[in-house]
Amino acid sequence: MADTPTKEPLVLVAGDTWAWIRSLADYPATTWTLTYYFRSRQHEFSFSANAQGDDHLVEQLKAATAAYHPGDYDWQAVVDDGTTRATVMRGRVRVLPDPLNTGAGFDGRSHARRVLEALEAVIERRATSDQQSYAIGGRSLQKMRAEELIKFHAEYLSIVRAEDAAAAIAGGHPSPKNVGVRFNDV
């Protein structure tokens, strides 16, 4: 793979082929096996990398990843040479559902976006009963004072904007946070 990433992704899609290369100078693939362990509250899976010279090639085919459940996972990367084992990396990844197998009623919005939309609907007095029943800090949106609604709106708007910026960058677009400025010679 010509453009195989050299770091673990922050977001993976179930049903896609996953691939990255890890170079671990102290743990060459010629003598060490690199295994990734993924765990969420309800699910777990693991897989090992293959040797590509001294590098570790991680590659999970679409048939394997299609079985992985969407959600947020903590992961650990562990190397083992048969006598010694070491945890060499840790991280967190979000596994998105397979877009080809989501089924009817799928809602791909993040939690923050759903809450933001519910807040806006309540503020604009057009909320459905589902939107009014959202709760923040144990209080339903319907029973919040205007000041609280506005405060939470600002917080969730910030979260959604950060998600949008991250998605733009992941999609190869410039961050919407950056503003381009050009100076012309006069």
Query: Would you say residue 1 has pLDDT above 50?
Result: no
CB 142 within 8 A of CB 119: no
CB 55 within 8 A of CB 99: no
Which of 96, 128, 156 marks a domain boundary? Answer: 96
* pLDDT tens column, 120-133: 888 888 878 777 77
Q: Are 33 and 56 in the same domain?
A: yes
How far apart are the C-alpha atoms of 160 and 38, rounded to whole Å?
26
Q: Are 19 and 66 in the same domain?
A: yes
Domain that holds residue 125: 111-169
Classify residue 71: in a domain, yes or no. Answer: yes
Amino acid at 69: H
Classify residue 183: in a domain, yes or no. Answer: no
Classify residue 55: in a domain, yes or no. Answer: yes
Q: Are 115 and 50 in the same domain?
A: no
Report the pLDDT value the prediction gives residue 25, as an integer from 0 to 100. Answer: 95
Classify residue 4: in a domain, yes or no. Answer: no
Query: SS3 sequence, the chain?
Result: CCCCCCCCCCEEECCCCEEEEECCCCCCCCCCEEEEEEECCCCEEEEECEEECCEEEEEECHHHHCCCCCEEEEEEEEEECCCCEEEEEEEEEEEECCCCCCCCCCCCCCHHHHHHHHHHHHHCCCCCHHHHCCEECCEEHHHCCHHHHHHHHHHHHHHHHHHHHHHHHHCCCCCCCCCCCCCCCC
Q: Are 87 and 132 in the same domain?
A: no
CB 87 within 8 A of CB 37: no
Query: Would you say residue 61 has pLDDT above 60?
Result: yes
Q: Output the average pLDDT for the chain.
A: 86
Q: In the chain, how many domains are there? A: 2
The mean per-residue pLDDT over the stretch 10-33 comes to 95
Classify residue 57: in a domain, yes or no. Answer: yes
Query: Would you say residue 175 has pLDDT above 60?
Result: yes
Classify residue 102: in a domain, yes or no. Answer: no
Classify residue 90: in a domain, yes or no. Answer: yes
Report the pLDDT value the prediction gives residue 180, as an integer from 0 to 100. Answer: 61
